[in-house]
Amino acid sequence: MSSVQEKYEEFVNKEDTLIRSVRICEQAMSLLKDELVYKQRGETCQATLRDICEWIQQREEKLRREIFSVRWEMTVLACQFPSAKKQAEESPL
């Protein structure tokens, strides 16, 4: 069975991958809008571009929800670290 630290590190790696994916979505959206909509001033099929941008936005939203879930699990795991337990026991609250 994986230790808490190993599980936490897996989540860190997953978070990094998700963040990179969000950045790619942001870059793709920017490129599409800047290069194909703005610079070509209506010479492209805007309906198709809008559909593509909406799909990218939906994908980005899904990735952000996944990031939230991963970060939540990381917080739960961090509470299980021995040093975190000791600090909680020593806390006056």
Band of residue 1 on the pLDDT scale cut at 50, 70, 90: very low
The pLDDT value recorded for residue 10 is: 96
Instruction: Give me 84's structure tokens.
Output: 């975190």
Determine the Cα–Cα distance for residues 10 and 86; give it in Å rounded to an integer: 24
Say if pTM beats, i.e. exceeds, 0.85: no
Domain boundaries, the chain: 4-80
70 CB burial (10 A radius; 0-12, 13-18, 19+): buried
Average pLDDT over residues 8-23: 98
The pLDDT value recorded for residue 82 is: 74
Q: Pick the more confident residue, 3 or 22.
A: 22
CA distance readout (Å), 34 to 17, 21, 22, 55, 89: 26, 20, 18, 17, 54
Give the tens place of pLDDT for each residue, 18-70: 999 999 999 999 999 888 877 777 667 888 888 999 999 999 999 999 999 99
